[in-house]
Structures are given as structure tokens and as C-alpha cells.
Chains A and B, each alone.
Chain A
Amino acid sequence: MKLAAIKPVSRVLARELGITALLLFGVSVVVFAILYLAPGDPLNVLLEGQSPRSELALGMREALGVPRTWYGQYAAWFGKMLQGNFGNSIRTGLPVLPELARVGVYTLTLTLGSLALTLLIAVPIAVHAAAHGGTAGNTAATLVAYVLSAVPVFWFGYIVVYVFIHQFGMFPLISGTAAKQEHAWLYFLVPIFVLGIASGTLSEMIRHLREELSRVLAEDYIRTARAKGAAVWRHAFKEGFLIPVTEIMSAKIPFLLGGAVIVEQVFNWPGMGRMAWQAAQDRDFPVIMGIALVAAAFVRLGNLLQRVVFTAVNPRASRE
């Protein structure tokens, strides 16, 4: 990056980080409100089989130090959160943050891996279609990609599970023992493959990149590049490739996270999605809050990346 571009980039970075902080605060309030207003009480899990209105419940609350009012509850959580303490899981009693970090790595592997796979498939198809128009080959590839993207990810997941695990018995579906099995690496690759192909990102990525790239290739300045005998891709790269790819990546991260929840269920993948699913069923408030914040931060990170790339690349954006 040129020295001149660092100043605008750092300015954008500072602003975006500020927005991120505000946004995370907003997310925590909204999620808290939803949880608070939703029926059900997390303590029911601990008091299974007993009347929730009994003396026992009240005593339990006091023993756990849960404030009575909603704002008291939120303030207590918020205060601890600022110190990096997201509380303990009501179900397991384990601290939320280390648990999140443990499963977060799995989810990150799953989503980033699938994003990389999507790019790996989408980019050649889109670039070929933009450069050569609709040939038989790339039209067929695009069509297949569109059909796969339209397939529900859970259904595709079950088909894969059925074929590879039940029919061929290639690898087990239990995370803990997987590493010791013969095809253990498949256990890691298959969910990534399923999410990368069927999350719906593939078709959007092909379409966006193809459209943007072919628009840019028709620009006057590309004709100038050709007229002066320069390499066209060097001139088209920034506007026709870098910007649309980061745009679509950042726009698709929320969908990937949503897809991850499902894929993790199907493949018994020990990630955040499965943890969220479990926590939602248990009304495990601290865990849900923690996951919501981490997911929101992840989404914002994608946007941040896109803004930074756009500012670094686009001279007009850097001189506002």
C-alpha cells in the first residue's frame, strides 16, 4: 500500500471500529430484550421437574446473585462484560468466554474454509464468463452452481451424510473419535464442502463478480489499456475484481454463519452454531449473549475488511 493511502485507511478504520462498538452495544441490548421478553426461564433447566414458582426458584436466584429488575440484570452483565467476563453458562457452569473461544475456532474454520472453497469455484467461472461471454462450458458450470445454491443446505448435508457415511461408511460422525479414524481429514473437509457449495453464496458470488467484471471490461479505460498494448487484467483488477470480491464476501458472512448453524447440527461439528442451538433451547442467557456478540463482531469484521480495501483502492474514497 502506498504511503498516501495509509492516512485515509486509518481514518476509515477508526470510524468503522467506533461504529462496531456502538453496533455491538445495540446488538447486546436487542438480544437481551428478546431473551428477557421471551417465555421461559433459564433456571428451569436447573430446576427440572420442579415448579418454577416455588420457594426453591427464588432461593436459587438469590444464591446465584441474579438481580430482580431487568435493567439490573443487564447492567450486571454489561459491567462484567466490559471486564472481559461474559459470565458462566447456566447449564454447564463453565465460563462463557473460554468456551466460545474453543468452539469459535471450529466455526471460523468452517466458515472461512467454505468461503475459500466458494471463491475457488466462483472466481474461475465468473472470470471466464466475463471475459469470453456465455460459452457452453461456463453456462453449464453456472447452471450447476445455481442449482446447488438453490438446494437447502440441510438437505444437501443429509444427502452427503447418507452417501458417504451410511452407504460407504467412510468416516464416523462423532467429533471426538474422528481424529483417530482412517479418513479423519474427510470429517473436516466434508462440512466445509457442504457449506461452501450449498449455502447460497456460490450463485451470488458468480453473478456479482461476473456482472461487475464484465461492466468494467466494457469501460472506456479498458479500451485505452488495450489500445496502448497494456495487460487488460492489470487495469481491470481493482475495480473489476478486488472490490466486487470483497463486497460479496462481506455481504455473505451473515448467511454463512446462518448456514453454519445448520451444517454444524447435521455434521455434529463442535462449533458455535451447535452451541447456539443448544443454548437457545436451554435459555442459557449468558451463552446466547456471548454468541450473539461474537457473531456480530465477525460480521462487522467482514464489513470492515471491505471498507478498508475499498478505501485503499479507490482514490475517490480516500479524498473525501
Chain B
Amino acid sequence: MDAPLLAIENLRTYFYSRAKRAFIRSVDGVSLGVARGETLGIVGESGSGKSVTALSAAGLVSAGPGVISGRIDLYSNGARRNLLDGLENYARITERDGRVMEVEKDERGWRKRSETLMAGVRGKEIAMIFQNPRSALNPYSTIGKQLVETIRLHTSLKGESEAKERAIHWLERVRIDSPRLRFDNFPFGMSGGMCQRAMIAMALSAEPSLLIADEPTTGLDVTIQSRIVDLLAQLKTETGITTLLISHDISVIQRLSDRIAVMYGGTVVETGRTAEVLAPEARVRHPYTTALLASIPSAETIRRKSYLQAIEGEVLDTIEVPRGCRFYGRCNRVTEAIRENCAGLEPPLGEVAPGHKVRCWLYPATGKA
């Protein structure tokens, strides 16, 4: 990968459940890279760990006894910094017979360390937009004030009036009509789509290196969803901003991302160029990706009035992770030849074509696995 901006290496984000005396392995060994200028889409069902991956990168994992390990390297201004540097030292895990007995975490130290690591990164280098934009904006403050706050925090514009002009400029760029009037509006007076536009304007107004869009279309009306996707596509060509896009909606990912990572049960099961991975005639495809694709209503399924394909079975329980392939329990393509492997051994993420990796026993890696 050329000129990476963000490199996630073997990220593990676990939450400790006291009641069950076990870790919930939300993210379990994820490695991803986002190159400068590209959009990486992460897709997966709820609970696949895609959002937690994003929150980990933004330093927003706060839930009490959570443990994070691995590296998240951010390359900016010619320097590399690990956003997780030293965080694992704040938690001590006592294990016995493979079961977690106790997690001792110095939460204050952990949080302090995290704040130090993220200082100058959050908002400035990594900006984020969320789902449910109405509740993600401060209801007690006008749109304009919230934008001006971001601009004065992160850009060289410190004056009130010049920041205001810049804020209005950004409201125009996200195609909010009559931005001067909207500037003084409170979020409750605006539609969900408008709020998401304002969120996007706020995130971009800091001129960040990386935009993390965590389910940006979730919680919006369907028609508004496609409008927001259009806007994101336009802004991508206009600004060329590097984006980490997270969505459970594979059609949104297909539309916006250059590369794609399919996540299941806290791991990446397939990654590659979007065009390649999602190509209709693709020869190699992870069974989970196939299932996700089959769940999109296509013109074909609508014309034939056939039923949408739901993915059988439950989303993986990330506490009792199986020994074999995580998708084994729901997979419909297990053959007798590989069954033993599928049940007992986790497949590696093998490269099946240049840049295209699949975690499945069906596809033995062409290169060295």
C-alpha cells in the first residue's frame, strides 16, 4: 500500500463482562490500512466490530473495563504516531485456566493517557460523523456556534467573524439552502438530513486528514439516505479527503469506497479493491460477503418478485469464540473436504489475488499464506 495515512495493526478491543467473567471480543485482531486519498469501506452486520474499530481509532472507546491492544499508526506531517501507545499498560488481566478472573484497570490513568495521545488528533487530524445526526449535534447550541467552535479550535481562523464566514462557506459546500439563516438554527428545528449535512460541514471545517464516517446514513429516511450518499460522493471528488466509511449497508459501501473490508465477528474476513471484491462475476468470494450481497434488493430480485435472502443463524457471540472459522456455524458452503479445518482451525487471511485477501478454507492462498 502506498503512502498510508492510517495503519491499524492487530487491533484488539475487548470489553470485560463481570457477570460472565469473560471478554466480549468486539474487535479481535484487525489489521487495516487507509491510504492517503482513498476511501476504505468497512461493512458487516451489527456486532461485527466495525463501529468499535472506528471508535478505537478516534480514541472514543470509553466503556469502563475495556482493554485495547495493537497499534494504530497515524502518519501526519511526516511523523508517525501510535494512537494506542502504552495504553495496554493500564490494565492488568488475571487469567486462570484460560478464563479471565479479574481485570484491574487504572481508568483514570488510561483515560489521561488516551487524552494525551489524542490531543491534537481528534477533530484536527481525525474528524468523525455519526449515525442519528439529530442527537449527535448539541441540541442546546445553534448549528453555527458548533461549527464556529470547531473552526476556531482547529484552523488558523480565530476571530469570531472570519470563523463565521468560513462556517457559512462550509454550510454552502454541503448544500444547505440559505446557510445564513440555517447558521442560527438549532438542531431540533432541522430535518435529519439537514443535521447530517451540518455534521459533515462541521467535520470537514477542521480540514482533517481523515474523516471517519460511522454509519452516516443510518437513522435517516431512505430518500435522504441516497441524498447524503450523493453528497459524500461529491465531497470526495471535490476535496479528495481520505475516508474510513463504516456501514452495514453494502450498497452504500459499494458506491463510495475504493477498497472494502468485510468484517465478521470482530475480524476482517475479506478485503480488497471494491470493484474486485464486489464484482458480479468474481470467482473468489467469502461466503459471508456472498450472503451480504444476496441480502441487497437488486433490480433482478424485484423483477422476479423473489424473496430477499436473509443470512441464516445468529450473529456470532463474541464471548465464546469458536475454535475454527467464526462463520462456520452459518456457512452454507462447507464442503466435506474442508469441514475438519472449518470446525477446528481458524483460516488465515490469505491473499488470493494481488491486494485481495480472503479468510476462508475454500480459497487456499496463492502467495505465502
Chain A interfacial positions (CB closer than 8 Å to B):
4, 132-133, 219-221, 223-230, 235, 238-239, 313-316, 319
Contact = CB atoms under 8 A, between A and B. Distances in A.
A53 to B, nearest CB: 66
B250 interface: no
Interface string B40-60: 000000000000000000101
Given A229-B123, A230-B123, A230-B153, A224 B136 contact: yes
B292 to A, nearest CB: 27
Given A230-B153, A316-B139, A220 B203 contact: no
B138 A235 contact: yes
A221 B136 contact: yes
A238 B58 CA distance: 26
B303 interface: no
Contacts of B124: 229
A314 B188 CA distance: 11
B130 A223 contact: yes
Interface string B170-214: 000000000000001010110000000001001100100000000
B123 A315 contact: no
B225 interface: no
Given A132-B108, A228-B150, A228-B202, A219 B135 contact: yes
24 contacts: A4-B184, A220-B132, A221-B135, A224-B128, A224-B130, A224-B136, A224-B137, A224-B138, A226-B122, A227-B60, A227-B122, A227-B127, A227-B128, A228-B123, A228-B153, A229-B124, A229-B153, A230-B149, A235-B141, A239-B140, A313-B140, A315-B139, A316-B186, A319-B189
B76 to A, nearest CB: 14
B246 to A, nearest CB: 14
B164 to A, nearest CB: 15
Contacts of B119: 229
A221 B150 contact: no
A228 B135 contact: no
A257 to B, nearest CB: 32
Contacts of A219: 135
A227 B138 contact: no
B136, B140, B153, B186: most-surrounded residue (chain A CB, <10 A): B140
A239 B141 CA distance: 11
Size class of B's contact patch? 35 or more
Interface of B: 58, 60, 64, 107-108, 118-124, 127-128, 130, 132, 135-142, 149-150, 153-154, 184, 186, 188-189, 199, 202-203, 206
Contact of A228 (B139, B142, B203): B203
Contacts of B188: 315-316
Contacts of A315: 139-140, 142, 186, 188
Given A229-B123, A230-B149, A220 B140 contact: no
Contacts of A316: 139, 186, 188
Contact of A223 (B136, B139, B154): B136
Nearest to B212: A227
Nearest to A315: B186
A238 B135 contact: no
Contact of B140 (A4, A230, A238): A238
Contacts of B122: 226-229
Contacts of B138: 221, 224-225, 235
Nearest to B147: A228
A71 B139 CA distance: 53
A239 B138 CA distance: 10
A229 B149 CA distance: 10
A1 to B, nearest CB: 14
A227, A235, A313, A319: most-surrounded residue (chain B CB, <10 A): A227
A270 B212 CA distance: 65
A221 B128 contact: no
Given A221-B136, A224-B128, A230-B149, 11 more contacts: A132-B107, A220-B130, A220-B135, A223-B136, A224-B137, A225-B138, A228-B127, A238-B140, A314-B140, A315-B140, A315-B188
A221 B149 CA distance: 14
A219 B140 CA distance: 12
A239 B186 CA distance: 15
B127 A133 contact: no
Nearest to B208: A228
Nearest to B188: A316
Nearest to B149: A230
Contacts of B128: 224, 227-228
Contacts of B186: 315-316
A217 B333 CA distance: 46
A133 B107 contact: yes
Nearest to A227: B128
Contacts of B127: 227-228
Contacts of B120: 229
Contacts of A235: 138, 140-141
